Structure 1
Amino acid sequence: MIPADDPVRLLSAFVEGMDLSELYATYDRVRKNRATSRQMLKIMIYASMNRLFSSRDIETACRRDINFMFLLEGMPAPDHSTIARFISLHLSACSKTLLSDMTSILHDLGEISGKTLFIDGTKIESCANKYTFVWKKSVTKHQARLFEKILSFIEECETLYGIKVVYNGKATLHTMKRLRKKL
């Protein structure tokens, strides 16, 4: 029923290959006749791929959509409270690690280059607001302004607190800790 080259099969194989030990560690016990945490992660990622973010919408999709049923592997569809509980208690506790693992796997496979990296929460043609673009020139300009602000802040801290923060063009961890104590 589901074609061999369907994205849902790729997602399933991708998650099967991941190390989810940190996700499993968030559980104190495992209940029978329920979707496993691996299956829940699969449906959460697939729901995000299809722009389903509400737990009630995901529940409906698990009951009606054949792709979600494939990811659940014959288990009954979780209700909306189970989905919300999974997100708040289990997925949120290890989401950064899971996303970094996914990113490194995609980088190793050559699907993403890593040539340009944004770590400040910048949206680039996201689903949240697809009409917001980030241009390289504006990022470079804002980065230069940010460095100017940081330099002026460091100079101000050096004059106010009498601590030399930068030695030979580098700020050491020890001086930063001393400055933090004074602040």
Structure 2
Amino acid sequence: MIMYKEYNTNQLSLELNLAYDIPMNHEVRLISLFVDSIPNHVLLEDKSHTGRPAFHPAMLMKMTLFAYARQVFSGRKMVQMNEEVIPMKWLSQDTYVSYKTINNFRSSKHANNLIKTAFIYFTLLMRENGMIEDEALFIDGTKLEADANLYSFTWKRAVDKYEDALNGKIYEADNIQGTEELEKLSKTESGRQKQIHYNPTWNYFKELIKEELHSEEGSRIYAKRKIDVEPVFGRLKSVFGVRRVHVRGNRAVQTEVGFLFMSMNLTKLAKNLASKTSHTQKPHSDFFILIVFKTEITVWFYLKLLFAQPLFSFGYHFSLNAGILIIPYTEIIKMKEAILWQKRILQKLIWN
């Protein structure tokens, strides 16, 4: 059996500390509920069966999502939250977690795969309940500063200063056109002739997309970018205050961006649910619809939508060769088996 420390947010004993009573409509309960709905075969990873039990990934994921929702991105500040903020103490069940544990989790391969899979569950759930639309697929981007030295870029005045020297090198290059030097440069290390291939197919697709965007229907859909896409980056930078990443490394940056967007999704969903249930004691029973995995092709198509859904599943696209996550068919079968259990948990939602 895999060694994990005991972790359960369900009340199994008499609560002695009444200060830990979290309001039923608090967003931290939604975060906890969503993470608990992820099957164990996705949450848990292969760990050593000996030694000290590891912290449960569900607890670390909940703590990270809630900290990001509160615009806290430092591992040490997350530890401070765990000591001072009651909802965070409720998530961790008043368990001390060091900043190294949190940082190691955020930068791990397991967390990277976990947050990507979590987007699948979240996107399908929102779509099946009519909370997001698939009328249009938007792909957009924004610039975030890397966690690097402030002066690790080139100033314009430095370029202007050395412009003459650069132009001089270009002039020298022009002089060797058609000479032995050019012949040497045109060869590979093995002595073969270097080749350049032109692919007109991509230009064809560019022109095709350009025509679609300028059509009447394309213009109508493209106009939605101002409503569905651009506000996401505005909220990311203005409300969450994220203008640079807080970790280093390709995989760690991917994971952090995933946690950022998922925390944005959950906070927005919490407000949406609160507004819908503010006039009633219990949400309508039709709100929860069973997620149906139809075929492998359908799931793969939804997975492509995962990276840029308009309302709640905002983009998870990286320019650093992140690629698209493709779930094997065997994993889809496991997901299908876990759906009934997932629905039972979801129906215990906050306002029961």
Normalising by the residue count of structure 1, what TM-score does the alignment of the two structures yield? Answer: 0.59
* Distance in 2 separating the partners of 1:121 and 1:21: 33
CA offset at residue 59 of structure 1? 1.3
Equivalents in 2 of 1:77, 1:119: separation in Å?
40
> In the TM superposition, what are the counterparts of 1:28-177 in structure 2 within 5 Å?
28-29=47-48, 31-32=52-53, 35-74=55-94, 76-89=95-108, 90-121=110-141, 124=232, 125-129=234-238
Structure 1 range deviating more: 41-50 or 114-123: 114-123
Q: Alpha carbons of 1:127 and 1:20: their partners in 2 closer, same or farther (altered >3 Å)?
A: farther
2:41 aligned residue (1, 10, 21): 21
CA distance in 1, matches of 2:65, 2:48: 23
Q: Match of 2:73, SS?
A: coil
Higher helix fraction: Structure 1 or Structure 2?
1
User: 3-state DSSP class of the match of 2:235?
Assistant: coil
Query: What is the rounded CA distance, in whole Å, between the counterparts of 2:73 and 2:31 in structure 1?
Result: 18
**Greater C-alpha radius of gyration:** 2
Query: Relative contact order (alpha carbons < 8 A, sep ≥ 6): 1 or 2 greater?
Result: 2
Aligned partner of 1:137 in structure 2 is none
Whole-angstrom distance in 1 between the partners of 2:89 and 2:56: 13
SS in 1 for 2:236: coil
Cα deviation digits, residues 22-65 of structure 1 (max 9, x gap): 3412x423743x53111111111111211111111111111111
Query: Could you tell me how far apart the structure 2 residues matched to 1:37 and 1:12 are?
Result: 12
Distance 1:50 1:116, change over 3 A: farther
| RMSD between aligned residues | 2.5
Show structure 1 runs of 5+ residues with no match.
132-183
2:330 aligned residue:
none
8 Å contact kept, 1:20–1:38: no
Displacement of 1:95 after TM fit? Answer: 2.4
Q: Post-superposition shift, 1:20?
A: 4.5
Gaps in structure 2 of 5+ consecutive residues: 1-20, 143-229, 242-352
Task: Specify the code of the residue in structure 1 equivalent to 2:62.
Answer: K
Structure 1 residues 70 and 111, CA gap change in structure 2 (3 angstroms): farther
Change (3 A) 1:21 1:72: same
How far off its partner does 1:116 sit? Answer: 4.2
Give me the whole-angstrom Cα distance separating, in 1, the residues matched to 2:47 and 2:103: 17
Alpha-carbon distance between aligned partners in 2 of 1:53 and 1:127, rounded to the nearest angstrom: 13
Higher mean C-alpha displacement, 101-110 vs 114-123: 114-123
Change (3 A) 1:28 1:50: same
* Distance apart, 1:119 and its partner CA: 3.5
The Cα offsets for residues 55-114 of structure 1, whole Å up to 9 and x where unpaired, read as 11111111111101111124x221110000001113124322222222222323333334
The residue matched to 2:237 in structure 1 has which SS?
Answer: coil
